[in-house]
Chains A and B, each alone.
Chain A
Amino acid sequence: MPVPDTTRFLKPEVVAKLKGIDLKARLVVEGFLAGLHRSPYKGFSVEFTEHRPYMPGDEPKRIDWKVYAKTDRFVVREYEEETNLRAYLVLDASGSMAYSTGEVSKLEYAGMLAASLAYLLLHQRDSAGLITFTDKIDAYVPPRSTPAHLNALLRQLAAARSGGDTNIAGTFHQLAERVKRRGLVIIMSDLWDDPKAVLTALRHFRHKKHEVLVFHIQDPNEREFAFRNPVVLKDMETGREMTVDPRVLREQYQKDFDGFFATFERGCREAAIDYHRVTTDTPFDRALFSYLERRSKMR
């Protein structure tokens, strides 16, 4: 009997057609978990499945010493997960996040990703909180691990609307000071701000002993700059207008654009921050894998 291909439900354009963010999150996570059994990322499952003999290269901390005491054999536990993770989902709802050239805007994508992560986190009995911001913190839902908390998170996510200016660095500093208990800060933003200031703010999280996972979300056209003729562009946050000839600017713009990302990538690497560049057509499983990868490192 053929196994149904559930990965198609991880494509943003498919998920976006569903109504209700809870359904979307559920679809993404269930589809993700179903696909995980066939994936090379088996090690990141959330439930204990079996013991296996210790192999050179396995981390010694994963050896099950109880079994060793009883059987005098080294075995390692697979897929054991922890329940005390405190995750902060930080969602950028500034004006630029409303940009969309496909079926999904950046904010919608980030919302669905946040919902999926919340679903997954709570499914693993971790605590999940939510912060939405523009040029300031707009909403703050403290982390909880109860299943009923999911509804609160999803309601808040569904209510998130893009608009206004952005002040990423300032908001991050504010947030870093506000969140007292260390945890995993998952940032979903297009990071359209001064890279230097943003990186400083991200380092502020690290300084507060937080683990940081950054999903740098972009629309494909932001890099492609696929305008054919001269056009008047309006900044979605500041409202400023600029006449540009894309045929002439495109090449340099793309070069600068890549440099912009490279700056973040390099800065995050130096600060031991997980940085992932995703576009709104990136399937959600890649983002979830990124999360699990980070989650596994935190054991």
Chain B
Amino acid sequence: MGFLAPSLLPLAALAAIPVVIHILSRLRLKRAEFPSLLLLTTVKRERFSWLRLKELLLLVFRTLALLALLLALARPYVRHRLPGLGRTNDLVVILDDSYSMGRASQWQRALAVSRGLLSSLGPGRRAALLVASQAGLFNSSLLSPPSSFLPLLDSLRPSCTEAVLEPALRRAMELAEPAHADIAVVTDLQVKAVPSDWRPPTDVPVTLVSVSGPNANNAGVTRVYTEDRFPVAGQATRIKADFANYGPHLATRTAILTLDDRREEQAVTIKPHASATVTFEAVSADSGYHVAEVELRTDSLEADNTRWLAFRQPRRIPVLVVESPAVPATYLADALGADSSSVFSLTRIAAPEFGRYDPRRFSTVVVTDAAALSRPDWTRLGFFLQSGGSALVMFGNPPSDSLLLAGRIRFLGSARPSGFVSVASADTTHPVLDILKPADLSVARFFAHARLERAGGRVLARLSDGEPLIVAADDGRLVTWAFTVLPEFTDLVFKAAFVPLLHRTLLYLAGGGLVADYLVGDTIRAPVVGAGPVAISTPDGRVVMEPEMEAGRPEVAVARTGLPGIYRVDERPYAVNVFAAEGDLTQVPTGKLEKLGYRVWSASDSRQSPIANRQSSDLSPVLLWIAALAFAAELLLLAL
């Protein structure tokens, strides 16, 4: 049972008023003296039973009349036909327009099924059409006649997004519940499409209409990346691509790489339900931005056959090292290889000179001892970070302030353990540490360190005394080390992991090679130079946008990217790809769906659709009759 106007349901509580009045009147009875109860005792004994019964019946009839009347306002209904009350339900159709629906003729089948459902509704019935990728954006109300949606259906195409049915289901529920309408989802029943942790309410039937054919061989490109995580100019890097075969048969295809203006083809064989990686021979060594496109030819689902990569190869990374007499940057300079072959261009200055340098000339600032910077220096460093720079801050001597960089670093004090502590855990999924193993770091001993609070960042390594050792800020612009590179603090400087750790940290902070991999539907936020109009090219044309100031620097936001491909903002490329897992066409077992409470019907099933001509019954007239009868019974009792 459900209610068409559930917001009026609380009014039913008013039906308690007669009961409350009855109780109150009992509590507040007037008292009076009377000469003798001699006669009343006899009279009451005779009349008592009937009186009590009459009083009780009056209360029951009065409450029932009121309750029925108030419940009728909430318009209750049941989802089956009752004699004289049944009518065909309204229908909300959700069309799964994820890119997997574009396989072969599946989309055409989905449109045909949707047309059939809308056309099957009787006269006077209402319908709504929700497109999964745009749920809530349009067609958000039930309209009559349902056939008005047919022209819209003809104009729809599969999107390049993944199937996320839950928002559409929730929106559909909002429409269906008050109208006691049914919900039909036209989908290919992909495993990940149907939310397994979300059950449809029992009073709104949700029918999943499967339009998929038998499982087909589908293979797609799942990832394109550079061989070196942080490619630098002058060091040749190759492009690699991962491919997945979602089908049950061996897939032999041709993989085509287009790197800038070069093209390379390779044959790739992928086992059933497996993946394969191809390393292309073409190399990139020039500085600047590069675009790679990998295509896998060819199968019934095109959307996941092509994937793009945009990356940058910086020439040299200018690094400003701020050192103090107490913590010289000797070990640091040695590790970074201060010669012409190094990708880093080091400039070493003493801490008091920091105020005379414009840090914006540098990609990254390294502070060897947080205690060496004055308050104005910290303020200056904060502005530098805001304007797009990055910093590596190390702790040697305790600084005078506990809150640094406007609270981004919280210094809690110094720790000098008896003996030493070592690294207890390391997050090797982070780009800074992904080339290391925890054991590489755990061999190092730390004799003194700062105690830092995480302050919203991510702890990349933690010491055996529980204190954070390396903390990376969420925006990727600040890394804090709870130690400095002196043997008094740690012997890490003598370990093999030190150089890669330092290189990766600085490359990470400089952003070399890391160009975010966007998915269709994401918003690209691109920093630009200057406040003038910016030309943006997208896979389907060019637009000009005015930048907006964000965190003190101009940027443009390309909202809700709709197509995969390369987007260029001020000539800087950004790759936008489809969600790779959408290419997996494996279907969820219908038994599991039915357990969750869904009804499942295959469009190829010759039986009649379980949705067509479903009926429900409005209980309001029945309740009004009950109210009237109870009211009449009350009047009759009063007259007795």
Taking beta carbons and an 8 Å cutoff, which residues of A are in contact with B? 95-97, 99, 106, 190, 192-193, 219, 222, 227, 229-238, 240-245, 248-249, 252-253, 256-257, 260
Known contacts A230-B25, A248-B47, A249-B43; is A237 also within 8 Å of B32 by CB? no
Given contact pairs A96-B35, A260-B39, enumerate 19 new A-B contacts (beta carbons under 8 Å). Answer: A99-B33, A99-B34, A99-B35, A190-B36, A193-B38, A222-B35, A230-B25, A230-B29, A234-B32, A234-B33, A234-B34, A236-B35, A236-B36, A242-B41, A245-B51, A245-B55, A248-B51, A253-B40, A256-B43
On chain B, the residues within 8 Å of A245 by CB distance are 51, 55
Say whether B31 faces chain A, with CB atoms less than 8 Å apart. Answer: yes
Please indicate the chain B residues that have their CB under 8 angstroms from the CB of A238 in the complex: 37
Q: How far is the CB of B31 from chain A (nearest CB, A)?
A: 5
Q: How far is the CB of B37 from chain A (nearest CB, A)?
A: 5
In the bound complex, CA of A240 to CA of B38 (Å)? 11
CB atoms of B34 and A235 under 8 A apart = yes
Asked if residues A242 and B44 are in contact (CB atoms below 8 Å), the reply is: yes
* Distance between A165 CB and nearest chain B CB, rounded to angstroms: 11
Q: Are B43 and A236 in contact, CB atoms less than 8 angstroms apart?
A: no
B 41-85 binary contact with A (CB < 8 Å = 1; else 0): 111101100010011000000000000000000000000000000
List chain A residues, Cβ under 8 A from B32.
227, 231-234
Which residues from A are CB-within-8-Å of B356?
A: none
CB contacts (< 8 Å) of A243 on chain B: these are 29
- In whole angstroms, what is the CA distance A142 to B48 when docked? 49
Q: Which residues of B contact A231 (CB under 8 A)?
A: 29-32
Chain B: which residue is nearest A101 at the CB level?
B32
In the complex, which residues 12-41 of chain B have their Cβ closer than 8 Å to any Cβ of chain A?
25, 29-41
13 A-B pairs whose Cβ atoms sit less than 8 Å apart in the complex: A192-B35, A219-B35, A227-B32, A232-B32, A233-B32, A235-B35, A236-B33, A236-B34, A236-B35, A249-B44, A249-B51, A252-B43, A260-B39
The answer to whether B47 and A249 have CB atoms under 8 Å apart is: yes
Residues B30 and A235 in contact, CB atoms below 8 Å apart = no
Q: Which 6 A-B pairs have the closest CB atoms?
A: A96-B35, A192-B36, A233-B34, A99-B35, A235-B37, A232-B31
Inside 8 A of A97's CB, which chain B residues have their CB? 35
Q: Which residues from B are CB-within-8-Å of A235?
A: 34-37
B42 to chain A, nearest CB (A): 7
Residues of A contacting B51 in the complex (Cβ-Cβ under 8 angstroms)? 245, 248-249
A244 touches B40 (CB 8 A): yes
Q: Restricting to B413-471, which residues have a CB under 8 Å from any CB of A?
A: none
Name the B residues within 8 Å of A229 (CB-CB).
25, 30
Return the chain B residue nearest A255 by Cβ.
B43
How far, in whole Å, are A236 and B40 apart by their CA atoms in the complex? Answer: 14
Report the nearest B residue to A190, measured CB to CB.
B35
Contact B25 A252 (CB under 8 A): no
Q: Across the two chains, which residue of chain A brings its CB closest to B31?
A: A232
Closest to B50 in A: A248
A264 CB, min distance to chain B CBs, angstroms: 13
Kindly report which residue of chain A lies nearest to residue B35, judged by CB atoms: A96
Report the bound CA distance from A230 to B41 in whole Å: 15
- Nearest chain A CB to B26's CB is how many angstroms away? 8
Q: Tell me, in angstroms, the Cα distance from A242 to B32 when the chains sit together.
A: 10
In chain A, what residue has the closest Cβ to B25? A230
Q: Which of B29, B42, B55 contacts A256 (CB 8 A)?
A: B42
Instruction: Report, as a range, how many residues of chain B touch the other chain.
Output: 20 to 34
In the assembled complex, the Cα of A190 lies from the Cα of B44 at a distance in Å of 22
- B38 CB to closest chain A CB (Å) equals 6
Please report the C-alpha to C-alpha distance between residue A262 and residue B47 in the assembled complex, in whole angstroms: 22
The answer on a CB contact under 8 Å between B46 and A237 is no
Instruction: Report Cα–Cα, A229/B32, bound state, in Å.
Output: 12
Among B30, B33, B34, B46, the most chain A Cβ lie within 10 Å of the Cβ of: B34
Report how far A253 CA is from B34 CA in the complex, Å.
13
Q: Are B40 and A237 in contact (CB under 8 A)?
A: no
Find out whether the CB atom of B30 lies under 8 angstroms from the CB atom of A232.
yes
Minimal beta-carbon separation of B120 from chain A (angstroms): 62
> Which residues of A lie under 8 Å from residue B38 when comparing CB positions?
192-193
Smallest CB–CB gap between A99 and chain B, Å? 4
Q: Could you say which residues of chain A place their CB within 8 Å of the CB of B33?
A: 99, 233-234, 236
The answer for the CA separation of A249 and B44 in the assembled complex, in Å, is 7
Chain A residues with CB under 8 A of B30 = 229, 231-232
A242, B40: Cβ atoms closer than 8 Å: yes
Q: In the docked arrangement, what's the CA distance between A257 and B39, Å?
A: 7
Chain A residues, CB < 8 A from B55: 245
Contacts of A106 in B (CB 8 A): 35
On chain A, the residues within 8 Å of B39 by CB distance are: 253, 256-257, 260
Q: What's the nearest-Cβ distance from chain B to residue A188, in Å?
A: 15
A169 to chain B, nearest CB (A): 13
State how many angstroms separate the Cβ of B287 from the closest Cβ of chain A: 99
> Are A232 and B29 touching (Cβ within 8 A)?
yes
| B46, A233: Cβ atoms closer than 8 Å | no
Q: How many Å from the CB of B7 to the closest CB on chain A?
A: 38
Residues of B within 8 A of A252 (CB): 43, 46-47
Inter-chain contacts of B41 with A (CB < 8 A) = 242
How far apart sit A95 and B37, CA to CA, in the bound complex (Å)? 13
Residue of B32, B37, B42, B51 contacting most chain A CB atoms (<10 Å) = B37
Which residues of chain A have C-beta atoms less than 8 A from B47's C-beta? 248-249, 252
How far is it, in angstroms, between the C-alpha of A260 and the C-alpha of B36 when the chains are bound? 13
Counting chain B CB atoms within 10 Å of each CB, which of A190, A192, A219, A248 scores highest?
A: A248
Q: Which residue of B lies closest to A252 (CB)?
A: B43
Looking at the assembled complex, report how far the CB atom of A108 sits from the nearest CB atom of chain B, in whole angstroms: 14
Contacts of A227 in B (CB 8 A): 32
Give complex CA distance A257, B31 in Å.
Answer: 22
- A contact residues around B44 at 8 Å (CB): 242, 244, 249
For B42, the chain A residues whose CB sits under 8 A away are 256
| Interchain nearest-CB distance for A64 vs B (Å) | 50
| Distance from A21 Cβ to chain B, minimum over Cβ atoms (Å) | 23
A237 touching B36, Cβ below 8 Å: yes
User: Residues of A contacting B54 with CB < 8 Å?
Assistant: 248
Nearest-neighbor residue (CB-CB) of A257 within chain B: B39
Check A233 against B43 for contact (C-beta < 8 Å): no
Output the nearest chain B residue to A245 by Cβ-Cβ distance.
B51
Using Cβ atoms and an 8 Å threshold, which residues of chain B touch A96? 35-36
Complex Cα gap A38–B568 (Å): 130
The chain A residue with its CB closest to the CB of B29 is A232
Contact with A along B536-574 (1 / 0, CB 8 A): 000000000000000000000000000000000000000
- Complex Cα–Cα for A270 and B40 (A): 27
What residues on B are CB-neighbors of A230 within 8 Å?
25, 29
With a CB–CB cut-off of 8 A, which chain B residues contact A192?
A: 35-36, 38
Cβ contacts under 8 Å, A193 to chain B: 38
CB distance from B183 to the nearest CB of A (A): 55
- Closest Cβ of chain A to B257, distance in Å, is 95
B29 to chain A: which residues have CB within 8 Å? 230-232, 243
**What's the Cα separation between A242 and B40 when bound, in Å?**
9
CA distance A151 to B448 in the complex (A): 120
Closest to B30 in A: A231
Which residue of A has the minimal Cβ distance to B36? Answer: A192
Chain B residues within an 8 Å CB radius of A240: 37
Most A Cβ at <10 Å: residue of B33, B36, B55: B36
Minimum Cβ distance to chain B for residue A254 (Å): 9
CB distance from B137 to the nearest CB of A (A): 63
What A residues does B35 contact at CB under 8 A?
95-97, 99, 106, 190, 192, 219, 222, 235-237
> In the assembly, what is the distance between CA of A195 and CA of B261, in Å?
127
CB-CB under 8 A for A234 and B36, given A242-B44, A245-B51: no
Measured CA separation A177–B46 after assembly (Å): 39
Question: In the docked arrangement, what's the CA distance between A252 and B51, Å?
Answer: 13
CB distance from A240 to the nearest CB of B (A): 6
Cβ-closest chain B residue relative to A235: B37
